Amino acid sequence: MEYVVGVVLGLAVPLFARAVGFDRDRSFYTVVLVVTASYYDLFAIMGGSSHALLSELLATGAFVALSVLGFKRNLWLVVVGLLAHGLFDLVHSWLIEDPGVPRWWPMFCFMFDLAAAAYLARRLRQASGVAAEPGARITAALPRQRAPSLLPPS
């Protein structure tokens, strides 16, 4: 069941974001990567393991760094980050002993990451008009449209 729910939510989140305009800014997908990575930190706190928390924070830091690079340079790095986090989900229990991680979480998160990465990759290809060919330099980014501000002009 966690596989199906992971895929469904991994597609529903960006589809909803696009429908309401959350993804108009480059930061949306980068924040998705940061939040996704930080769940393991929460599980370490819930499990009461300081050692696990330190290990999880190191891993989260790597994904946050990739997210920042993706935001500043190229959103394809966020696709790489989501795929890398999916792989991390597969090997997590071998790398970090975290008693707070629910048994079903790694496979749910793996499927979420793959679905979200696939969706973002498709959007980036559409925005660039460039096929993702091996060795091609793709510098496409989602359009930099901004949602209308709710604040009065200053």
Q: Are 104 and 62 in contact (CB under 8 A)?
A: no
CA distance 33 to 113: 9
This prediction has a pTM of 0.82
Average the pLDDT over 79-86 and give the result: 98
> Of 70, 63, 69, 73, which Cα lies nearest the Cα of 35?
63
pLDDT for residue 151 is more than 80: no
Give the ranges where 48-104 is alpha helix by DSSP (H): 50-72, 76-95
Rounded (to 5) percent helix, strand, coil in the chain: 70, 0, 30
Task: State pLDDT tens for residues 4-40.
Answer: 999 999 999 999 999 999 988 889 999 999 999 999 9
Q: CB atoms < 10 A from the CB of 71, how many?
A: 21
If phi over 0 gives left and psi between -120 and 50 gives alpha, with beta otherwise, what is residue 49?
Answer: beta
DSSP label at residue 147 = P
pLDDT at 63 over 50: yes
